[in-house]
């Protein structure tokens, strides 16, 4: 297996991009990532997207973005040789909220196997193409359609039930999850691409409007538009003038669980998240204690607590305490959501995993500005499809300045 390094990164601010189409949002970061990689052109494109066909009424994004991004096998101008005008290998990867992470895994495996020299991974989501109840209806499609969605269960209500059960089993106080929101918003204040760049107080959390008891609006990440991209390759193929600190993907792992929570032995244990973390650490030859930062998937604050526990950073029922006591802050035991996470950066759906990779690479390259984790060398990122029905974990490692 070849070592896979990150040659270029790019992202758009997360927010409401009413004036920009899904394809334009994606192409913007595609071109920016190529520029950041010193002009390296990809031979394959993997697009992470969850709801394009539903919200933007546009499927088959691989071919669409390869075309509009100008990613041809040749220069696209030779009319006598159609093979030079054809687009590169391109496909869409869908795994619910883990779509971006799954696309990154495809790009990683393509380069690691040697079948592709340079791969591009793009995550894009466009929630503002519809409004109101249509968004909730679309999100319900990532739950178990025959046994959950058909009963009217939304992803938010599902998270609220998990939180209520967690409070019952582990005696967590009603504001026990507040630390996740406070940490995310404090960190987003230093992220120019975040949707909400303002810290919040515990008092503000207490006054927040309820969404689905016991969760309030600060426990639920806001769905928003965004696109992020990476260029992956092998170190020997980097441009001679490549100037960024070198970061490699040390490991990639993917695991799945039942879609329906009712089919799990313990709905409060994210088994797929646990397995993917353990596999990734083993493949990377690392111990959990060596991880300098963890970008969890905090679409809901209860998911953040359960992810910390599944990853082994806290025992069952104790994950919330890491947020309450500051252990996940920028200078804490295990910094998390270092640039705001989904809660304050904004939740770009299927693009989340690619945003996490871009943010983690920024940390390891020393490009995180005021949010920089001092001496960061190893980052772990994990994105989830639903309540960890899919869990994709990657470990990034800084290998040289």
pLDDT of residue 56: 82
- Tell me, yes or no, whether 47 lies in a domain: yes
pLDDT of residue 147: 76
pLDDT of residue 80: 59
Record the pTM: 0.95
Whether the CB-CB separation of 49 and 351 falls below 8 Å is answered with yes
Whether the CB-CB separation of 352 and 123 falls below 8 Å is answered with yes
- Tell me, yes or no, whether 110 lies in a domain: yes
- Tell me, yes or no, whether 257 lies in a domain: yes
Range of the domain at 386: 4-132+222-400
Separation between Cα atoms, residue 43 and residue 102, nearest integer Å: 18
Q: Domain holding 252: CATH number?
A: 3.40.47.10
Could you write out the DSSP letters of every residue in 315-343?
-TT-HHHHHHTTTTSTTSSS-BSTT-III
- Tell me, yes or no, whether 234 lies in a domain: yes
- Tell me, yes or no, whether 186 lies in a domain: no
pLDDT tens string for the chain (401 positions)?
Answer: 899 999 999 999 999 999 999 999 999 999 999 999 999 999 999 999 998 888 888 899 999 999 999 998 865 555 555 555 678 999 999 999 999 999 999 999 999 999 999 999 999 999 998 777 677 666 767 777 787 777 778 899 999 999 999 999 999 999 999 999 999 999 999 999 999 999 999 999 999 999 999 999 999 999 999 999 999 999 999 999 899 999 999 999 999 999 989 899 999 999 999 999 999 999 999 999 999 999 999 999 999 999 999 999 999 999 999 999 999 999 999 999 999 999 999 999 999 999 999 999 999 999 999 999 999 999 999 999 999 999 999 999 999 88
- Tell me, yes or no, whether 212 lies in a domain: no
Buried b (16+ CB within 10 A) or exposed e, 145-183: eeebbeeebbbbbbbbbbbeebbeebebeeebbbbbbbb
- Tell me, yes or no, whether 182 lies in a domain: no
**Count of domains forming the chain:** 1
- Tell me, yes or no, whether 193 lies in a domain: no
- Asked if the bond preceding 268 is cis, omega within 30° of 0, the reply is no
């Amino acid at each position: 297996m070849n070592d896979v390094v990150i040659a270029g990164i790019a992202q758009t601010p997360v927010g409401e991009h009413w004036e920009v189409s899904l394809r334009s949002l994606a192409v913007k970061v595609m071109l920016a990532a190529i520029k950041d990689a010193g002009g390296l052109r990809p031979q394959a494109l993997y697009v992470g997207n969850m709801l394009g066909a539903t919200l933007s009424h546009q499927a088959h994004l691989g071919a669409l973005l390869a075309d509009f991004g100008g990613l041809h096998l040749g220069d696209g101008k030779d009319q006598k040789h159609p093979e030079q005008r054809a687009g590169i290998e391109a496909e869409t990867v869908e795994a619910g909220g883990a779509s971006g992470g799954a696309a990154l895994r495809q790009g990683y495996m393509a380069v690691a196997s040697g079948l592709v020299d340079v791969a591009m991974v793009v995550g894009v989501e466009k929630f503002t193409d519809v409004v109101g109840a249509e968004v909730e209806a679309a999100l319900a499609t990532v739950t178990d359609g025959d046994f959950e969605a058909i009963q009217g269960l939304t992803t938010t209500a599902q998270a609220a039930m998990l939180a209520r059960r967690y409070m019952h089993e582990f005696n967590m106080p009603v504001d026990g999850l507040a630390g996740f929101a406070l940490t995310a918003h404090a960190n987003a204040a230093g992220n120019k691409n975040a949707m909400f760049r303002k810290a919040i107080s515990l008092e503000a959390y207490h006054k927040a409007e309820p969404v689905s008891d016991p969760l309030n609006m600060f426990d639920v990440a806001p769905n928003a538009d965004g696109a992020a991209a990476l260029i992956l390759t092998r170190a020997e193929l980097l441009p001679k003038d490549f100037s960024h600190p070198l970061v490699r993907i040390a490991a990639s792992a993917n695991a799945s669980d039942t879609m329906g929570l009712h089919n799990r032995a313990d709905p409060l244990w994210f088994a797929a998240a646990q397995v993917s973390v353990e596999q990734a650490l083993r493949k990377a030859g690392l111990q959990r204690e060596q991880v300098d930062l963890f970008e969890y998937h905090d679409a809901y604050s209860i998911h953040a607590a359960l992810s910390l526990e599944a990853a082994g950073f806290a025992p069952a029922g104790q994950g919330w305490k890491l947020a309450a006591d500051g252990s996940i802050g920028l200078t804490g035991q295990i910094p998390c959501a270092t640039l705001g996470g989904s809660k304050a950066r904004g939740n770009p759906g299927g693009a989340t995993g690619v945003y996490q990779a871009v943010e983690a690479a920024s940390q390891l390259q020393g490009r995180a500005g005021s949010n920089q984790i001092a001496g960061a060398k190893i980052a772990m990122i994990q994105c989830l499809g639903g309540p960890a029905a899919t869990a994709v974990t990657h470990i990034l490692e800084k290998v040289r300045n």
